């Protein structure tokens, strides 16, 4: 995997993308994988990065007028090298999950530091919860049970079709939590729904940067100027 991440894009198989970008499927005809070791997955029609909401093109203008989504590390092309590497859909779901957890984490730090707790927890000792860095080791089992239950519910909703998503087959939408907390909360208008997906994606990316800054400021005081959460 490290060799794949460090390999320049020139060593990756050439892929021809159709001119139209509306519901395009990308097919890889030439792969490095032998039969029986992922080749059947590599040759499946796949949805390219350009078809995903939030595929940035701000810095993607290359000489010759060719415009492609910005992916300098070629993470979206890992599945072209080996069937053991994840598809773009799986990477998008991982990004969404990290972004959502980071948004919850940053909000939790702000709320807990203010002394606000979930209702019905008056009997729980939250004396160590005001400091986010020590809260994981000071909170009682009852509080941790709530966290584990929440994680179990989310992972249970997204477990179906996870391997198909990794292999680039199937039709499950990355990050969709179902009709109650997923696509059911979006507008029926595709343009409006995609705009909301883009907002979530960008807020999640910002939250991941914020979370990294808060952690850096904790271990290296002053690393994030103005940060009150030490």
Annotated binding site for chlorophyll a: 70, 76, 95, 98, 199-200, 203, 205
H/E element holding 201?
Answer: helix 190-219
Nearest partner of 223 among 208, 204, 210, judged by Cα: 210
Annotated binding residues? 52, 70, 76, 95, 98, 100, 155, 165, 199-200, 203, 205
Annotated binding residues for chlorophyll b? 52, 100, 155, 165
Cβ contact 59:109 at 8 Å: no
d(CA 88, CA 85): 10
d(CA 104, CA 184): 21
Query: How far is Cα of residue 204 from the mean position of the Cα atoms in its chain?
Result: 8
d(CA 45, CA 15): 12
Nearest partner of 67 among 56, 79, 54, 78, judged by Cα: 56
d(CA 124, CA 140): 7
d(CA 9, CA 74): 7
Q: How many CB atoms lie within 10 A of CB 23?
A: 7
């Amino acid at each position: 995997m490290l060799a794949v991440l460090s390999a320049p894009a020139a060593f990756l198989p050439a892929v021809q993308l159709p001119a139209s970008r509306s519901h395009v499927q990308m097919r890889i005809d030439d792969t490095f994988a032998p039969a029986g070791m992922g080749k059947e997955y590599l040759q499946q029609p796949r949805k390219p990065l350009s078809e995903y909401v939030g595929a940035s093109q701000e810095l993607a203008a290359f000489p010759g007028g060719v415009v492609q989504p910005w992916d300098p590390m070629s993470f979206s092309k890992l599945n072209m090298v080996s069937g053991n590497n994840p598809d773009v859909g799986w990477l998008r779901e991982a990004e969404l999950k990290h972004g959502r957890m980071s948004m919850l984490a940053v909000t939790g730090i702000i709320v807990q530091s203010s002394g606000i707790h979930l209702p019905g927890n008056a009997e729980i000792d939250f004396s160590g919860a005001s400091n986010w860095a020590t809260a994981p080791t000071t909170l009682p089992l009852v509080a941790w049970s709530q966290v584990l239950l929440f994680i179990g519910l989310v992972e249970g909703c997204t477990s179906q079709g996870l391997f198909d998503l990794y292999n680039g087959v199937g039709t499950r939408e990355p990050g969709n939590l179902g009709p109650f907390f997923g696509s059911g909360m979006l507008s029926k208008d595709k343009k409006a729904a995609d705009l909301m997906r883009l907002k979530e994606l960008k807020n999640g990316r910002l939250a991941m940067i914020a979370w990294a800054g808060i952690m850096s400021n904790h271990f290296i005081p002053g690393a994030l100027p103005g940060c009150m959460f030490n």
